[in-house]
Structures are given as structure tokens and as C-alpha cells.
Amino acid sequence: METNALSRRNFLRVSGIAGSALCLGFYFPANAKKGELITVNTADLSGFEFNAWIRIDANGKVTLTDHRAEMGQGSFQSVPQIIAEELEVDLKDINVVFAQGDPVKYGSQITGGSSTIRGSYKKLLKLSATAREMLITAAANKWNVPASECYAGSGYVIHKPSGKKLHYGELVADASKLTPPKEVKLKDASAYKLIRKPLQRMDTPMKTNGEAIFGLDKKLPGMVYAVVERSPRLRGKVKSFDGSAALKVPGVKQVFKIQMMVFNTTRDGVVVIANSTWAAMQGRKALHVEWDESGFEHVNTADIYKAHEDLLKTKEGLSFKKQGDPDGILNKADKKIDVIYQTPYQAHAAMEPLNCIAHYQPDKIEIWGPIQAPDWVQGDITSKFKMPKGKVIVNMTFLGGGFGRKAFLDYTHEAVAISKEIGAPVQVVWTREDDIKQGPYRAGISYRGQGSVENGEISALKFKMAGQNIDHWNGPSRDKANNSTAEGFLKPYYDSIKNLSFADVPYEMPLPNMWWRSVYASTNGFAYESFMNEMAVLAGKDQLDFRRQYLKDERCQALISKMEEVSGWKSRKKNEGFGVAITECFETTVGQVVKVSRNAAGKVKIDKVWAVMDCGWYVNPDIITAQIEGSVVMALGAATIHEITFKDGLVEQHNFYDYLMPRMSDMPLVEVHIMENPADAGGVGEPGLPPFAPALTDAIYDLTGNRIRKLPFNMNAI
């Protein structure tokens, strides 16, 4: 399998050797309708543009151009599994190469919103089935038999009555001259041989012997290394700097000031260029920089949360949703609660620190790196460096984690600016400290929940959120509520709770934010589902029965029953705490049950997590299971171990010694179940995260009577 992003030239050379081929893709020429399926005859490859998603060559090898990033979520495995199923080839005959950033050819390429599969599986199935039918037709024509007597399997077309067979490779030349059929019949789910099977990931071997090339592993001839000293206070400006000591460090070649752009703001830095990463880091230590940090000295975490609370108590905010008369009912109610939840700022802290290689040349810019949104990077660099269209080439490598951070456009822009300055290819390396201290972060958001109960039923619910908006970079108008105000909250609640409202209280603070795995659901889910658990207590109901009563939708009912069944909810014992939460995001619903108890030393420990996911149509249950296991670990860290805090404008954390991570001994047992139903595919990489924290704190309440409303909290202090 190809592990490197191939340059266009290389790819074409490989194609050229193969001779004729059948290429199929969603090709978007200017005059075609978007999404139109066409074939490209590539007998003459000289003028062929890299625009196919799958390509079958004369040896019968299938090359799939993966338009999304592979950052652990398994698109490298699940996308081929889809294609092999309908194309009727063996998985081992599929090569995967990363696509270059090009929205015209691939449509949206951002790996985010858990969209890799849900956004494209129908097209991929159709594409593969179309290729298969064309190959069958080509064989039938050759044999002069009806196509209905032929079928495909393992890369061959077989004539059933005679047993004659032809390899795909022998048919591609003929097939590529055919007009693709308008309609193709897709397999029924019951006939799947690969889809829904827990197949081993094909990218594992290259990730166990050092072969997989991540951004930091990519090297170019003549490449130099750069590290950048950026303002210790966010958004400080360089007043002056002295690089003379740095230039004396062996290996250091150049020192200069750089300005990097993030949307409509800038960030200053002083760059050290050297012949190795280490030399550049040493040079950086010898720099003397004077910063102008005015305007940010007063940013303190305690003040941020105090401001949130004041806003939540005094302002009604911008209405996101309102039905019935929650205020009127709350005013008159006797049995009611009114509580505040707090969630912290968080860093993404992907294992691979940020990095990017850029090679600026006057007529073209080429970039290599761990990039979640190559098409955005291409657009951003094209416009910021005023390049003609098509002259910016963005190559993806494997990503050592992304979680949203690597969809940001700062580090790629900075690398190009540095390459332009020095006129050579450069790899810009962020240290772990840079990665943790510079942001952008998941915003810390506070919530107020008010609710009342009458005769054991919810009579009113009122939620408000206060916190920074993620897209504050673009200065969104704050005269409308954030459209993610209720993200994570299950929609079927709307049908059964008559008096309900959500509002967003604008809070402005110039801290840089960005999506973080599961985005708003990661914080909303904690507040809204914790509150539902509090409402269940107020109503004197079991938390699962309470949800069953309000989530009437058929899929939710089945999910709740499954949660109850697999977790042994009904046969809970004394001295065990059980907690629950269900959230929805990216069209997938996940319910989790967490069980806690006290260990011999009296400390609360997590015994087990049961997760039930309803993501509709799905590909590989083992990858889904892995994604949920990982989501639980990430949620555990964010709920109990780490947070980003600010003191006088400085981020207080530096590295993994003060931004702690869950480790092997913290890993709870996670058991995953996937619901079977015919619904459309939902996301997989993110929806497993939000329900964990509220289920955990609910379990702790069940065990100890202690209701936790502020994250993170210390498990050892309960």
C-alpha cells in the first residue's frame, strides 16, 4: 500500500505504466452538474487530471483516492470496505492514496463533523456498483452472451453457465468505452460480505513498524527546520528581538520576525531556522524577544466563569428555541431547581504536535502535513499569497490525531510565510509547549438549567448558555443565538416537553477557539443530560424510565431498552453507583451507562462503561468500537484530569506534566453495542464523547449523593 502522499507527477507516471484503465469518480467539470457521475477514458494519460476516486488498471489493481484525512478514525479501512463490497474485489487488491486538496474534484474534504462515511457512502456504493456493472457488460459483450448470465466476484467477471471468467484487468479497456448505466442495483444489507464485518484495519502493519509517514516524518531534499517563538500571552506583538546569541548556536542559519494570519487577526513570532529540529530549538532558547502584550494581561479563568454566572443570572440572552410558557410556569411552580454547570477550556493535544512543510516558489506553493481540511488550506493559501488558481498543492500525510485542531489554518499559513522568507522548503515544528499554550481551545461554557415538576411530570424546562462562540474569529453577528445552542440535546424531547426554552447569552472574550472533538455537544451534553438526571430525581423517577417517558421516538426507545439490558441496570447492587446519559450529535445517538464503586482505600473508581450507539447504516463495527473506546478516554481526561486555565493572560499549562492525560491504569472497561436498523448513516468519530461525563457524574451521585456540576473534578477527592 502507498503510505506517502504522492505528488501528481508521480501518480501519473505510475498510471502511465499501467496503460489503459477504468477510472470512475465524481468529476466536477465547470459545465457539469455538481455530483454528476462520469467516466474518464484514460488510455491517453498525458492530459489526465487527477480527478478519480477509484481507478482500476490493466492489472486489475484498484486505486482509491481517499479524499479525507486519516487521523485514526479509520477512513483508510472503512472507505475501501465500502468500495470492495459493491465492486466485488478483494480488499488486498485496493491501494489507497491520499487526495490532494481540491474542492472542485472531491467536494468538501474537511475531516470533521464525523462526516467521512455519512457524507459519501451512498455515492461510494453507487460508484463501485457502476464500475462492476460496466465490467460485467464488457465481459458479456466479449463473450457475446447476455449480461444477466454473468456475475462478478473477487476481481473477475464469471459467466455462470459456462464457468468462463475474465480478470477485471482484461476488461478495463473495453469497459472504459461504455456509457455508465443510469441506475444500478445496490446490494441488500443482508447480502453484505465486507460491510458490517469487524475486519482488521489494513493500516495497522505500517503503524507497527515505523513505516507510516506522519507530517513530522516527511522530509524533502534541501529542507531546513524551523521553530517559532510566539507570544507567551496570546496575541502579543513583537516589540523588538535580538537573535545574535541564537545565531551562534551550531546549525542555526537564520533568525527573523514573522507574522501569521488567523482569519482576521494576526499572530507574531520570531523564527529560528536551522539544519536540525534540535538546533532550531536550541537557537530559540537563546533568543531575546520583547513583547507588547497590552490588552491581554487581565484574562483570568476565575473572572471568565464569574462573568458567565453573572450573565446567566441577569440576562435573558438570545432565544434559540421556545415552546409554551416556561417562564410563567417556573414562576408559579413549587417544586423546581435552578442550577449552574461549568465546563473548562481544553486543548486538543493530539499526540503529533502541529507541524507543516511548505515550499514556496514564485510560481507555485506546495505543502505537506497533517492536515484535516486540505481544500480549506488550498483556498486560504491561494488567496493570502495571491497565487493563480491551481498553483497551490496541498499534500496530506497521516495525522497523529487531529480532534479539530488540524482543521485550523494558522500553522499552514505560518509555514508558507516562513518558506517565502527564506526561499527554501522548510518544516515548521511546534513543540508540545507551543501546542498546549497557543490554542486555539475548546471554549469553556457555562449553563443555567431551570426546571419544574408537577405530579411527577416535567412542567417546564429552561436552559441558557454563556460562553465564547467558536467562530468568533470571523466576527459573527451576535444578534442571533448560536445555532449550536441545543446541540447534543435529543430532539424527541421537544415533542414531549411542552414548555421549554433555550437561549444563548453572548459573552465576548478574545481567546482563540476551535472545534474540539464533538464540538458543542461536548459541553452542552454535560449540562443538559446532567440536568435531565436532576429532573428525574426531582420527579422521583428512575433515570432510564424517565427518559423512556420523554423520548417516545422508536429508535430512542430501542436504545434505552438496550442500555438497560446490557448494563444489568435492573439488577444493580448496593454499594454500586449507576449513572446514565444519552446525547445526539452528527446524526448519531449514543447512550452510556457508567458504573462506579469505592475501592479498598475508599476512593471512587470506574468499574465499567456500557455504550450503545445508534448510527444507522455502518461499515466496520470494530472501528466504531475503537472510536467509542477512544472517545471515553478523551472524555475522561476532560472531565477529571485536565483543563486549560489563564492567569493574567498567560496559559498556565505547558506540557503533559501539568496538562495530564489518562494513562493505562485509568482506563475503564468499555463495552460497546451498535444498534441495527435501516436508517441512514450517522457519524462515528465524535458522538461517543458527550454522554460520558454526565453519566459518570450521575453514577457518582448515585453512589455518594454528591452532585458534580463543574468540570473537571478530582475523582480522588470525592
Partner 1 sequence: MITITVNGQRHDIEADPNMPLLWVIRDILGLTGTKFGCGAAQCGACTVHLNGEAVRSCVTKINRAAGQNIVTIEGLSANNNHPLQLAWNEMSVPQCGYCQSGQLMSAAVLLRENPNPTDQDIDDAMSGNICRCGTYQRVRAAIHKAAAMQTEGVKS
Return residues touching ligand FES (CB under 6 A): 72, 351, 401
With 0-12 / 13-18 / 19 or more C-beta atoms within 10 angstroms meaning exposed / middle / buried, residue 95 is middle
Q: Does 71 bind partner 1 (CB under 8 A)?
A: yes
Pick from 325, 669, 679, 680 the residue near partner 1 by CB under 8 A.
669
- Segment near partner 1 (CB under 8 A); pick from 56-64, 397-405, 504-512, 579-587: 397-405
- CA angle 187-192-195, nearest 5°? 115
Question: For partner 1, which is the closer residue by CB, 402 or 577?
Answer: 402
Pick between residue 401 and residue 444 the one whose CB is nearest to ligand FES.
Answer: 401
Side-by-side strand order, sheet with 457-467: 318-323, 500-506, 457-467, 445-454, 336-342
CA 29-32-36 angle, 5° bins: 100
The mark string for 266-285 relative to partner 1 (x by CB under 8 A, - otherwise) is ----------xxxx-xx---
Indicate the SS3 state at residue 688. Answer: coil
204 binds partner 1 (CB under 8 A): yes
Q: Which of residues 598-637 bind partner 1 (CB under 8 A)?
A: 622-623, 626-627, 629-634
SS3 462: strand
3-state secondary structure of 253: strand
> Is residue 390 close enough to count as binding partner 1 by CB under 8 A?
no
Which one, 364 or 654, has the nearer CB to partner 1?
A: 654
Nearer to ligand FES, 125 or 216 (CB): 216
H helix or E strand, kind and range, residue 134: helix 121-143
Least Å distance, CB 635 to partner 1, is 9
By C-beta, is 72 or 243 nearer to ligand FES? 72
User: Which residue's CB comes closest to ligand FES?
Assistant: 351
Give 350 or 585: the residue with its C-beta nearer to ligand FES: 350
DSSP secondary structure letter of residue 201? P
Closer residue to partner 1 (CB): 88 or 434: 434
The least distance separating partner 1 from the CB of residue 227, rounded to whole angstroms, comes to 11
The listed partner (ligand FES, partner 1, none) that binds 251, CB under 5 to 8 Å by sort, is partner 1
Q: What is the CA radius of gyration of the chain?
A: 28
Q: Closest distance between ligand FES and the C-beta of residue 201, in Å?
A: 11
Minimum CB distance to ligand FES, residue 173 (Å): 42
416-475 positions binding partner 1, by CB under 8 A: 429, 431-432
Residues near partner 1 (CB under 8 A), total: 66
Q: Does 664 bind partner 1 (CB under 8 A)?
A: yes
**Strand pairing of 392-396 and 336-342?**
unpaired
Examine residue 579 and tell whether it contacts partner 1 (CB under 8 A): no
Closer residue to partner 1, CB minimum distance, 365 or 606: 606
Give me the least distance between CB of 401 and ligand FES, in Å please: 5
Instruction: Please give the Cα distance from 272 to 266 (Å, whole number).
Output: 19
Does position 712 bind partner 1 by CB under 8 A?
no
Is the Cβ of residue 351 or residue 667 nearer to ligand FES in the bound state? 351
- For 72, 451, 648, the CA distances from 289, given in Å and listed in that order, are 38, 53, 19
Q: Let me know how many helices (H) and strands (E) the chain has, helices first.
A: 18, 28
CB 418 within 8 A of CB 259: no
Is position 662 an interface residue for partner 1 (rule: CB under 8 A)?
Answer: yes
Indicate whether 251 belongs to the interface with partner 1 (CB under 8 A).
yes
* Shortest Å distance, C-beta 621 to ligand FES: 19
Query: Which partner in partner 1, ligand FES, none is near 713 (CB below 5 to 8 A by kind)?
Result: none
Name the β-bridge partners of 581: 592
Cβ 397 to partner 1, closest distance in Å?
Answer: 11
The rounded distance, in Å, linking the Cα atoms of 430 and 80 is 33
CA–CA separation, 78 vs 198, rounded Å? 10
Judged by CB, which is closer to ligand FES: 271, or 633? 633
CA angle 293, 516, 683 (to 5 degrees): 160
Among the residue ranges 208-216, 260-268, 521-529, 573-581, the one whose residues contact partner 1 (CB under 8 A): 208-216
- Rounded CA gap, 158 and 350, in Å? 48
Give the whole-angstrom CA distance, residue 311 versus residue 112. 31
657 binds, among ligand FES, partner 1, none (CB under 5 to 8 A by kind): partner 1
Regarding 328 and contact with partner 1 (CB under 8 A), the answer is no
List the one residue out of 240, 244, 237 whose CA is nearest residue 272: 244
CB-wise, 32 or 667, nearer to partner 1? 667
Residues 508, 329: Cα–Cα separation, whole Å: 31
- Residue 353 vs 449, nearer CB to ligand FES: 353
**One of 162, 200, 361, 561 touching partner 1 (CB under 8 A):** 200
Least Å distance, CB 630 to partner 1, is 4
Q: What number of residues does the chain have?
A: 718
* Residue 300 touching partner 1 (CB under 8 A): no
Cis status, amide bond into 712, omega within 30 of 0 = yes
* Dist CA 345 CA 646 (whole Å): 9
Pairwise CA distance, residues 138 & 170, whole Å = 10
The residues, any chain, with a CB within 8 Å of residue 315's CB and separated by 6 or more, are 505
Task: Please state, in angstroms and rounded to a whole number, the distance separating the CA atoms of residues 148 and 129.
Answer: 15
Binding site for partner 1 (CB under 8 A): 71-74, 200-201, 203-214, 216-217, 219, 225, 250-251, 276-279, 281-282, 349-353, 398-403, 429, 431-432, 622-623, 626-627, 629-634, 655-657, 661-667, 669-670
